[in-house]
Every structure is written in C-alpha cells, then in structure tokens.
Amino acid sequence: MSYQIKFEKTSSPKQKPDQNNLGFGNYFTDHMFIMDYTEGKGWHDPRIVPYAPLSLDPSTMVLHYGQAIFEGLKAYKAKDGRILLFRPHKNMERVNISNDRLCIPPIDIDFAVEATKTLVNLEKDWIPTAEGTSLYIRPFIISTDPYLGVRPSNTYKFMIILSPVGAYYPEGINPVKIYVESNYVRAVKGGIGYAKTPGNYASSLKAQMEAKKKGYTQVLWLDGIEKKYIEEVGTMNVFFKIKGEIITPSLEGSILAGITRDSTIELLKFWGIPVTERKLSIEEVYEAQANGTLDEAFGTGTAAVISPIGELNWNENKITINKGKIGDISARIYDTITGIQSGSIEDKFGWAVEVK
C-alpha cells in the first residue's frame, strides 16, 4: 500500500516547555497525524495537521462503548544528532493484535511506522535533549460512528500525537513500593487483558487509588480466577530473580505482551543468564524471600524502562527486596536498553530505528 501524507502547517507554533520540568504527558507538539477508516473504502486521507481538539458528535461510539486501542513508544535524540525510535514495528504489530480483539480493522504496519517517522521528523525540534528526557509517541484509534446501538463501528480515526516527557524518575532510578492486589482483578483469560485498550485502564483505577492511599506506587495484579498467580503491574510487566534464575509470568491471554519485556528476555538470553516464562505464584515469591533466594524484582515498560521493586505488600505481609536497592541485573538491563535507545551504546540487535 502506498499513501501520500498531506501536510497542513500550523500558523501559530507553540512555545516549547522548559526541559527540566516536563513531567509526563503534559505538553503536546504543534502537529498531529490523522487517518480515517470508512467501511468499504478502507483507511484513507492520511494527513498531518495542526494539533487541535477534535469535534465529535455526542453519540460517537467510542465515548459510550470504549471501542479503542492505543500504543506508547519514544523518540530520542542521540548525542550525534540522530533521531532514534525503539522497535517501532513491534508497536504497530501490537496495534493489529489489539485491533483484532476490539473488532477494529487492521492498519498497514509499515505505513504506520512511516507515518510515525514523518511526524517525528517534522517535530524534531520538540525532542528534548536533557538526560533521561524523550519525545513520547502516542498512536491511538477510536471508533467514530454517531450511533448508540452496540456493534463494531463502521468508521474510525487513527491518530498519532507527540509529547515531550521528562525523566520518569527525576531523582534517579529508585525502587518502588508495590501493593499486591487481592480484591480487584484487572483481566481474565478470554477477556481483553492482552490488548492495549482503554477499558483495562478504566478497570484498574480504583485499585490504583486505594493502593496510593496506603502509600504504594502501583498495584501488582494477580490472576482473576484464583488470585494466586502473578500477572503484571499497572503499566509494566514484572520479573523476579529467584535462585539465580529470572522468572516472568508467561503470556496466557490476560497480560499485555510488553516490548520492554521482550527486549529484556532477549538481552538476558544473549548474556547467558537463565530466564524462564512460566506461571509464578505470589506464594513462591514470598517463600523465596523467606529462604533468602529472592534477589531482585523489577517492572519493565516504555515509560520507566526498568523500575526496581523495593517492597511488596500482600495482605499486609510486607517484604523488602534486595534491601530496597536496585539489583545488578535491573541496573544492567536499564543501562543497556536506555543506551541503545539513546544511541550511546552499540545496538547489536537492530532495535534502534533511525528517523531520517
């Protein structure tokens, strides 16, 4: 498929924000990408236009039934000036996995990557350069039929917006406190847990709020049936190092298949460190802690890349992992992935994709 992307330049460019106080998702660049889908016509009219609010009929289907998906990836400016994306095809492949589950027509993966590159290149002056900062890329699709019956929409919008973001942990990478959720569940096998779709986040907010009130950063979800097996953290996949082996929950339909997770597994294999994807119960983690074989725990995701877990609270039984400090493996993975992303270390895997 080949498309021509139309371009309408903004007549009122915005002032760029202070690079030292970006936070996450607060600022948006001057332009955005949009493409429409119409039943019978397919995806059409790709365009880059000034960033602006959308005008939607109040009956627009996505507002009522949540038929939508999203993605998240980052662009970095390397010291030598190159602009790099990290494994962008993986994100667009995942769009189609999510689309399939949500009955949204598939997109053209290569074109979606091209559109991302075109938009990022156009907005390259918005890519912050301060340590730990990047340009967050948010592709998403919404269903747009003005209709209140329940069925898949016949029209959609695929959009990409960009947001300069700060270092996820401005004071450096510190271990987080995680609350093991035994009351609410995020997803079940057969549900939408493996899709990157807004509904999963809507359903997670209440547990997140309650954990925050108790002083925890995020929740660790257990499986929705027995509340026994570990699934993932809010926006991250999780890994545990027990007896020298790195273990992460296997993908069985209720967990999001993270690209940082996949990269972590590939790196560990490359380094010859044993890594296993399997069912892992919360009891096993607590037993390992009790007998001194739990060495490290960490989350993986685009936003923070690696987030060491310093404390777990499961039914008010609290454990401190690795004395509340970042572990060696966590630090090594963090340095390697962020090094590849920002072009400061050699990319042996072909993960960094240059925007030209």
Cross-strand partners of 158: 35, 141
Segment interacting with ligand PLP, rule: CB under 6 A, options 28-36, 153-161, 163-171, 231-239: 231-239
Number of residues near ligand PLP (by CB under 6 A): 14
d(CA 261, CA 84): 19
Is residue 301 at the binding interface for ligand PLP, with CB under 6 A as the rule?
Answer: yes
SS3 call for 97 = helix
Segment interacting with ligand PLP, rule: CB under 6 A, options 111-119, 230-238, 271-279, 314-322: 230-238
Please identify, using beta-carbon distances, which residue of 48 and 238 lies nearer to ligand PLP.
238
Q: Do 22 and 303 contact (CB within 8 A), yes or no?
A: no
Among residues 232, 295, 296, 311, which is the contact residue for ligand PLP, using CB under 6 A? 232
In our burial notation (b when 16+ CB lie closer than 10 A, e otherwise), range 95-131 reads bbbbbebbebbebbbebbbbbbbbbbebbeebbbeee
Q: Do 243 and 307 contact (CB within 8 A), yes or no?
A: no
Q: Minimum distance from CB of 244 to ligand PLP (Å)?
A: 24
Please identify which residue in the block is written with the tokens 């990290």: 86
SS3 call for 319 = strand
Q: Minimum distance from CB of 39 to ligand PLP (Å)?
A: 28
Is residue 223 at the binding interface for ligand PLP, with CB under 6 A as the rule?
Answer: no
Structure tokens belonging to residue 49: 């236009």
Among residues 139, 164, 175, 258, which is the contact residue for ligand PLP, using CB under 6 A? 258
Among residues 246, 259, 319, 355, which is the contact residue for ligand PLP, using CB under 6 A? 259
Please identify which residue in the block is written with the tokens 């209140």: 148
Structure tokens belonging to residue 190: 């057969």
Among residues 256, 275, 306, 337, which is the contact residue for ligand PLP, using CB under 6 A? 256
Angle at 132 between CA 126 and CA 137, to 5 degrees: 45
Among residues 67, 218, 237, 248, which is the contact residue for ligand PLP, using CB under 6 A? 237
d(CA 72, CA 167): 16
Is residue 261 at the binding interface for ligand PLP, with CB under 6 A as the rule?
Answer: yes
Among residues 84, 137, 236, 268, which is the contact residue for ligand PLP, using CB under 6 A? 236
Is residue 224 at the binding interface for ligand PLP, with CB under 6 A as the rule?
Answer: no
Q: How is 22-67 classified by DSSP, letter by letter?
A: --SS----SEEEEEEEETTTEEEEEEEEE-------TTBHHHHH--
Give the x/- contact pattern for ligand PLP in 26-65, rule: CB under 6 A: ----------------------------------------
d(CA 149, CA 56): 17
Window 186-205: residues binding ligand PLP (CB under 6 A): 196
Among residues 116, 134, 260, 289, which is the contact residue for ligand PLP, using CB under 6 A? 260
Q: Which residues bind ligand PLP (CB under 6 A)?
A: 72, 196, 232, 235-237, 256, 258-261, 300-302
